[in-house]
C-alpha cells in the first residue's frame, strides 16, 4: 500500500461509521495543558475530552490524519532518528475518536475490522496488549472478535498513555504485528528483546482521566476513545518491512537525500544514518516552519534550530557544500502537497527561512575551518595535523573531530588522533587532579570511568520535570555494580534526566526513579566526572539493574520553591547593585528550597532604609509578572549585551542568558531588569516568586556581606510569624498593634524615670541614715582633728551611685572628707572617698582610697585628689576601711 491510498482508505472507513473527517491541525498546540508540539492525533480534541467545550460533531465521533512531531518533552524520539528503523521525529497519525459516545467494544471491533478487512492483514500474526488492570478490554478482544487469549499480553505503564506531564490519559490496548522469526526471538510484545520483531502499529486509548500538575488523576466526565496508528508503520506492515524508510514517501525522501549528497543508501552504516536522518528531518523542518515556527534560541524555535543544524552537520559530513535544506524541503512539498495543501502555499517562505538558517550555520562551520587553515599553515609538508590543535577546535570552538578529519581528508592531510586523544586525556587528568585537590574522595574517580563509557548526561530539566530514560550505570560503595536491591544506597546514572545536578549554588533535585518492579527514592543529584548527572538515593522496593528503562520524576513542589529562590537571587543581586552601587559583585550563593543566600563585595553594613529599598525593587519586578526568558548565545555576545558573568567561572562556548523584568528607574529604564549568565532553573514569570523578603544581613569576611532571603510561602510564613510576635507584644502591653510602639516608648520612659527616682531615694536614704548616725554620735559627721568627717557603710547601692552620694556628702559637710563603702550581695565592696576642695592640699582622695581599699583586700584604686574610687573582695571589713581613712586624718 502507498501513503495516499492508505489516507483515503482511512477516511472512507470512518466516514462510513458516522465519524466526521477532521483535517489535521497545526503542530503548535493551542490548549494550555498541551506540550511544546502536537505529538498525537488526540491533541486538537483535548477541550472535548475534558468537557471544556461542547463537541461539535453529530454523533460525537471524529477521525483524522494528524501531523505530529516528537522532538522534545515527554515524547522525544530525536536521538533515535536514523538509527532506529521505526522512530521518526515527524509522522502522521491516523486516529478515530469518540467523545462520550462508543467505548471499548466498538473501538476494538472496528480496529480489528480495519486491520483484517481493509488492510487485509493475516490475523494470526497480530498480537494484542492490554493494561494489567483492564480485564474488560482483554475479555472484549476474545468476545467481540474471537481473538485468541494466548496472544493477549498484559503490561503496566506501556499500556497507559499520557499526553504529557499534565492532560488527558488512560489505559490502552495496543495492536502489534509480528514481522517473523528473522527479526527477533519469540515471546510476543512483552519480551523486550523482541522489540524489532513485534512492532506496535495501533494504540487504542481509553481516555478516562486527567493528570493534574501534582501528579494525581482526576476522572473525566465522559468515557472516551482516542486511537492512534502511525501511518508510516502501517505502510511498513503492508509492505512487509519493519523499516519505515522503505515506505513510499520516506523512500522517496531518502532518494532525494541520496541525490543531494551523492551517497547511496547501503554504502556504510554511518552514511545510512545520515541519509535517513535527512529524510526525516526534512519533513519535520518543513512542517514546523509551515506552521509558524522560526529558528531561534528559545522554546520551539530552539528545537527547530537544533533539527535544522543537525541535518546540515550530517550533510556536511557527507561532503555537501551547497545548501541542502531548501532543496529537501522542496521535495517534501512535491511529495505531500496534495495531502497537505498548506505546504504548497507557504513553500517559498519555508525555503527562504531554511536557506537563511543554513547560511548562518555554515558560517559557523566555516569559521572553524578558518581556524583550521591558520593551524595548517604551521604543519610541515606531509605531516599530520597536531592532535592538540584538533582538540582545541573541538573543545573551544565546538568543531567536532570528524568534521576536522573530513575537511583535511580532501587535502590529503591526516590528523594525529593519538595526539587528540592524549590532549583529551590530559584535560581529563587535569580535571581529575583539580577534583582530587578539591578534597573529594579518591573513589570519586569512578565517575570519570563512567563518563568515558556512557558520555555526558543529557539534561531535560529546563523543559520538563518528568521523563523516561535508561539506566546506564549504577555505583555502590565507590565502585560500579550491575544491580541493586531494596534497602541498598545507590548512585544511579541515566542517559537523560530532568533532575538538576547541584551547581551554580543551586542544590540538586530530589524525587523518584521508577521502573518495572522497582522504585528508587532520590535524595540528591550531583554532577560528577565532567557532565555525568548522578542520582543519589536508596532502592525502596524491587531490584534495579543497568539497562532498565525508567521513569524519572522530580519532586516538583520542592523544585518550584528552588526556582523561585533562584530567580529571586537574580533580582536581589541586581537590586543590590542599583542601591549600593556596581561595585557589588557576587562572591557566592546558595539556592535551596527553603531560602536563598547571597554573598557579595561591599565594605560596610547595609542601612535599614537601603535594605528596604532593595526589597522594594525586587518585589516591584516580581509584580511585573513578566515572562522570564532564557536564550543560548555565544559568551562574547552575551557579555557585550551586558549580561552579568562571574569572574573566573568557566563557561562553555554557548551560554544560557536569563532575563527578568523591565527596569523602571535610572539609565536602564525600559531595558531588561536583570540579565545574567546562568545554568539554573527559573520561574516561568516573575510573579511565580510571590514575594521576596530579606531576613538577615551581616558580614562573612572583610569586605564581604551576606544577605539571606525567603520567597513565596516561606516569606509569607516569616511575615506571619513576625506579626504573631507583634500581636503578642501588643497584647502584653494591653494596646492594639498600631499603638504598641508609642506604648512601649512610654513604658521605657517611665522606667527611666523610675530608675532616676529610685537612685534619688537611695541617695536620700543613705545620707539621711548617715546624718542620723552622726546625731547618734557615731563615726559620721564628726570632727576629727578639726577636719569634718563623714563615713558610712551602705548596702545594696551600686558603685556608680556611690560617687553621687560622695558629692552630696561633701556638700552637706561644707568642708571635710567623706567615705562611703558600698557592699554587694556577693560579698564584694566598693569604696569612694571625697575631699572638699579646701582640703585637697592636705589630703588626697587617691591616697585615702588606697588605705580603704587595702582594708577590704583590694589593690589601689584611682581618681583625682577630690574624688577617688576603689574596690575589694572583702566586704566584711567595710567598717575597717572607714576606720582606716578616719585614722589617716589624725
Ligand atoms: N494518543 C495515543 C497515542 O498517541 C493514541 O492516539 O498513541
Please identify, by atom number, the ligand 1 atom nearest to the C-alpha of residue 39: 4
To test the pocket of ligand 1, the residue of 227, 229, 230, 232 to mutate (highest count of ligand atoms within 8 Å of its CB) is 227
Whole-number Å distance between alpha carbons of 113 and 96: 13
For ligand 1, pick from 45, 161, 199 the residue to mutate: most ligand atoms within 8 Å of CB.
161
d(CA 385, CA 400) in angstroms, rounded, equals 14
Nearest atom within ligand 1 for CA of residue 205 = 5
- Ligand 1 center from residue 41 Cα (angstroms): 6
Looking only at Cα atoms, what is the longest distance across the chain? 141
Q: Whose CA is nearest to atom 4 of ligand 1?
A: 40
Q: How far is ligand 1, taken at its centre, from the CA of residue 184, in Å?
A: 26
Atom in ligand 1 nearest the alpha carbon of residue 41: 6
Q: Which residues pair with 211 in a beta bridge?
A: 167, 217
233 C-alpha to center of ligand 1: Å? Answer: 14
Ligand 1 center from residue 289 Cα (angstroms): 24
- Measured from the Cα of 163, ligand 1's closest atom is 1
Q: Give me the numbers of helices (H) and strands (E) for the chain, helices first please.
A: 23, 35
Distance 205 CA to ligand 1 centre (A): 7
What pLDDT, on the 0 to 100 scale, is given for residue 774? 39
> By the 8 A CB rule, do 315 and 281 touch?
no
Query: What residue's CA is closest to ligand 1, atom 6?
Result: 228
pLDDT at residue 646 in the model: 55
DSSP for 407-425, please give it: HHHTTT--B-HHHHHHHHH
- pLDDT number for residue 773: 40
CA of 22 to the centre of ligand 1 (A): 16
Best mutation site among 22, 41, 87 for ligand 1 pocket (most ligand atoms within 8 Å of CB): 41
- Looking from the CA of residue 75, the nearest atom of ligand 1 is 4
CA of 459 to the centre of ligand 1 (A): 26
CA geometry: angle at 67 spanning 62 and 71, to 5°?
Answer: 130
Mutation to probe ligand 1, out of 226, 229, 230, 231 (largest number of atoms < 8 A from CB): 226
Pocket test for ligand 1, best of 44, 69, 228, 233 (most atoms within 8 A of CB): 228
161 CA distance to ligand 1 middle (Å): 7
DSSP bridge partners of 526: 502, 534
Ligand 1 atom, smallest distance to 40 CA: 4
How many A from CA of 163 to the centre of ligand 1? 8
Question: Residue 204 Cα, ligand 1 centroid: separation in angstroms?
Answer: 7
Instruction: Indicate the angle between helix axes 417-437 and 387-397, nearest 10 degrees.
Output: 60
Atom 3 of ligand 1, nearest CA residue = 228
Could you give phi then psi for residue 198, rounded to 5 degrees?
-95, 105
Q: Which letter does DSSP use for residue 116 in this model?
A: I
Q: Which of 627, 525, 625, 504 is nearest to 569 (CA)?
A: 504
Mutate to test the pocket of ligand 1, among 10, 88, 95 (most ligand atoms within 8 A of CB): 95
Ligand 1 nearest atom to the CA of residue 68, by list position: 4
Pocket residue to mutate for ligand 1, from 160, 167, 203, 207, most atoms within 8 A of Cβ? 203
What pLDDT does residue 444 have?
64
**Residue 831 in contact with residue 872, Cβ under 8 Å?**
yes
Whole-number Å distance, alpha carbon 694 to ligand 1 midpoint, is 48
Task: Using the mean position of ligand 1's atoms as its centre, give its distance from the Cα of residue 35 in Å.
Answer: 14
Spatial separation of the C-alpha atoms in residues 592 and 508, rounded to whole Å: 9
Q: What is the pLDDT, as a whole number, of residue 398?
A: 59
Q: Please tell me the distance between residue 174's alpha carbon and the centre of ligand 1 in angstroms.
A: 10
Q: Specify the residue with its C-alpha closest to ligand 1, atom 2.
A: 228
516 CA to centre of ligand 1 in angstroms: 21
The ligand 1 site (C-beta within 6 Å) comprises: 40-42, 95, 161, 203, 205, 226-228
pTM for the structure as a whole: 0.51
CA 133 vs. chain centroid, Å, equals 36
How far apart are the CA of 419 and the centre of ligand 1, in A? 50
Q: Report CA(65)–ligand 1 centroid distance (Å).
A: 12
Ligand 1: nearest atom to the Cα of 95: 6
Residues 107, 110, 115, 116: is their CA dihedral positive or negative?
positive
CA of 226 to the centre of ligand 1 (A): 6
Written as nine digits, the cell of 182 is 528473522
Q: Mutation test of ligand 1: which of 42, 200, 234 has the most ligand atoms closer than 8 Å to its C-beta?
A: 42
Regions of the chain short of the pLDDT cut 50: 435-442, 647-650, 770-779
Q: Contact 613/581 with Cβ under 8 angstroms?
A: no
Amino acid at each position: 500500500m502507498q501513503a495516499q491510498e492508505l489516507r483515503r482508505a482511512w477516511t472512507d472507513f470512518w466516514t462510513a461509521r458516522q465519524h466526521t473527517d477532521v483535517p489535521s491541525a497545526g503542530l503548535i498546540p493551542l490548549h494550555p495543558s498541551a506540550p511544546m508540539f502536537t505529538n498525537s492525533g488526540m491533541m486538537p480534541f483535548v477541550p472535548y475530552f475534558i468537557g471544556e467545550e461542547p463537541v461539535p460533531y453529530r454523533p460525537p465521533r471524529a477521525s483524522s490524519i494528524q501531523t505530529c512531531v516528537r522532538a522534545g518533552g515527554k515524547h522525544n524520539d530525536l536521538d533515535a532518528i536514523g538509527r532506529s528503523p521505526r522512530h521518526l521525529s515527524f509522522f502522521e497519525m491516523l486516529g478515530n475518536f469518540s467523545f462520550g459516545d462508543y467505548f471499548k467494544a466498538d473501538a476494538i471491533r472496528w480496529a480489528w475490522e480495519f486491520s483484517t478487512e481493509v488492510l487485509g492483514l493475516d490475523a494470526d500474526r497480530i498480537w494484542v496488549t492490554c493494561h494489567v488492570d483492564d480485564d474488560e478490554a482483554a475479555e472484549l478482544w476474545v468476545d467481540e472478535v474471537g481473538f485468541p487469549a494466548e496472544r493477549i499480553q498484559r503490561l503496566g505503564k506501556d499500556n497507559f498513555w499520557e499526553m504529557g506531564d499534565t492532560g488527558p490519559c488512560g489505559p490502552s490496548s495496543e495492536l502489534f504485528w509480528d514481522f517473523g522469526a528473522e527479526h527477533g526471538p519469540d515471546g510476543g510484545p512483552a519480551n523486550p528483546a523482541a522489540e524489532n520483531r513485534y512492532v506496535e502499529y495501533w494504540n487504542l486509548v481509553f481516555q478516562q482521566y486527567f493528570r493534574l500538575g501534582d501528579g494525581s488523576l482526576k476522572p473525566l466526565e465522559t468515557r472516551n476513545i482516542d486511537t492512534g496508528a502511525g501511518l508510516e508503520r502501517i505502510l511498513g506492515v503492508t509492505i512487509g518491512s519493519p523499516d519505515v524508510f522503505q515506505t513510499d514517501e520516506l523512500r522517496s525522501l531518502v532518494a532525494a537525500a541520496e541525490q543531494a549528497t551523492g551517497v547511496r543508501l547501503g554504502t556504510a552504516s554511518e552514511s545510512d544514518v545520515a541519509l535517513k536522518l535527512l529524510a526525516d528531518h526534512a519533513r519535520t523542518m518543513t512542517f514546523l516552519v509551515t506552521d509558524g515556527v522560526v529558528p531561534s534560541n528559545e522554546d520551539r524555535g530552539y528545537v527547530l534550530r537544533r533539527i535544522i543544524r543537525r541535518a546540515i552537520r550530517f550533510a556536511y559530513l557527507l561532503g555537501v557544500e551547497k545548501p541542502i535544506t531548501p532543496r529537501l524541503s522542496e521535495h517534501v512539498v512535491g511529495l505531500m502537497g496534495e495531502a497537505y495543501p498548506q505546504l504548497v502555499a507557504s513553500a517559498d517562505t519555508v525555503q527562504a527561512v531554511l536557506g537563511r538558517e543554513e547560511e548562518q550555520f555554515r558560517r559557523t562551520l566555516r569559521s572553524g575551518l578558518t581556524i583550521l587553515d591558520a593551524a595548517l599553515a604551521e604543519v610541515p609538508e606531509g605531516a599530520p595535523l597536531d592532535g592538540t590543535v584538533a582538540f582545541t577546535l573541538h573543545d573551544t570552538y565546538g568543531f567536532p573531530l570528524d568534521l576536522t578529519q573530513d575537511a583535511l581528508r580532501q587535502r590529503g592531510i591526516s590528523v594525529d588522533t593519538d595526539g587528540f586523544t592524549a590532549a583529551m586525556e590530559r584535560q581529563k587528568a587535569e580535571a581529575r587532579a583539580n577534583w582530587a585537590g578539591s578534597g573529594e574522595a579518591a573513589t570519586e574517580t569512578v565517575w570519570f570511568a563512567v563518563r568515558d563509557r556512557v558520555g555526558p548526561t543529557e539534561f531535560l530539566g529546563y523543559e520538563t520535570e518528568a521523563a523516561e530514560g535508561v539506566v546506564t550505570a549504577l555505583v555502590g560503595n565507590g565502585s560500579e555494580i550491575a544491580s541493586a536491591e531494596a534497602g541498598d544506597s545507590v548512585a544511579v546514572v541515566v542517559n537523560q534526566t530532568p533532575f538538576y545536578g547541584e551547581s551554580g549554588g543551586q542544590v540538586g533535585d530530589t524525587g523518584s526513579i521508577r521502573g518495572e518492579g522497582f522504585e528508587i527514592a532520590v535524595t540528591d543529584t550531583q554532577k560528577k566526572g565532567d557532565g555525568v548527572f548522578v542520582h543519589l538515593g536508596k532502592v525502596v522496593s524491587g531490584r534495579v539493574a543497568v539497562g532498565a528503562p525508567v521513569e524519572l520524576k522530580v519532586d516538583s513542589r520542592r523544585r518550584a520553591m528552588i526556582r523561585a529562590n533562584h530567580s529571586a537571587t537574580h533580582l536581589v543581586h541586581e537590586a543590590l547593585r542599583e542601591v549600593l552601587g556596581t561595585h557589588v559583585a557576587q562572591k557566592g550563593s546558595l539556592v535551596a528550597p527553603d531560602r536563598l543566600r547571597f554573598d557579595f563585595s561591599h565594605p560596610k553594613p547595609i542601612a535599614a532604609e537601603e535594605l528596604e529599598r532593595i526589597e522594594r525593587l525586587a518585589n516591584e519586578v516580581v509584580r511585573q509578572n513578566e515572562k522570564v526568558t532564557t536564550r543560548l548565545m555565544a559568551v562574547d555576545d552575551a557579555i557585550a549585551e551586558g549580561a552579568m558573568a562571574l569572574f573566573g567561572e568557566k563557561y562553555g562556548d554557548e551560554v544560557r542568558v536569563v532575563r527578568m523584568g523591565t527596569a523602571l528607574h535610572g539609565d536602564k529604564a525600559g531595558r531588561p531588569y536583570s540579565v545574567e549568565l546562568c545554568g539554573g532553573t527559573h520561574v516561568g514569570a516573575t510573579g511565580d516568586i510571590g514575594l521576596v523578603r530579606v531576613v538577615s544581613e551581616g558580614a562573612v569576611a572583610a569586605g564581604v556581606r551576606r544577605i539571606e532571603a525567603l520567597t513565596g510561602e516561606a516569606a509569607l510564613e516569616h511575615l506571619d510569624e513576625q506579626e504573631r510576635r507583634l500581636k503578642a507584644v501588643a497584647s502584653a502591653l494591653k494596646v492594639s498593634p498600631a499603638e504598641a510602639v508609642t506604648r512601649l516608648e512610654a513604658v521605657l520612659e517611665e522606667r527611666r524615670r523610675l530608675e532616676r527616682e529610685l537612685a534619688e531615694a537611695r541617695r536620700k536614704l543613705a545620707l539621711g541614715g548617715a546624718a542620723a548616725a552622726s546625731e547618734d554620735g557615731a563615726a559620721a559627721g564628726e570632727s576629727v582633728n578639726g577636719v569634718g568627717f563623714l563615713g558610712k557603710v551602705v548596702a545594696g547601692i551600686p558603685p556608680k551611685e556611690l560617687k553621687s552620694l560622695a558629692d552630696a556628702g561633701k556638700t552637706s559637710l561644707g568642708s571635710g572628707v567623706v567615705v562611703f563603702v558600698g557592699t554587694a550581695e556577693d560579698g564584694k565592696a566598693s569604696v569612694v572617698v571625697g575631699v572638699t576642695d579646701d582640703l585637697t592640699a592636705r589630703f588626697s582622695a587617691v591616697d585615702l582610697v588606697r588605705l580603704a581599699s587595702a582594708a577590704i583586700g583590694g589593690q589601689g584604686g584611682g581618681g583625682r585628689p577630690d574624688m577617688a574610687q576603689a574596690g575589694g573582695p572583702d566586704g566584711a571589713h567595710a567598717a575597717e576601711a572607714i576606720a582606716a581613712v578616719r585614722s589617716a586624718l589624725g
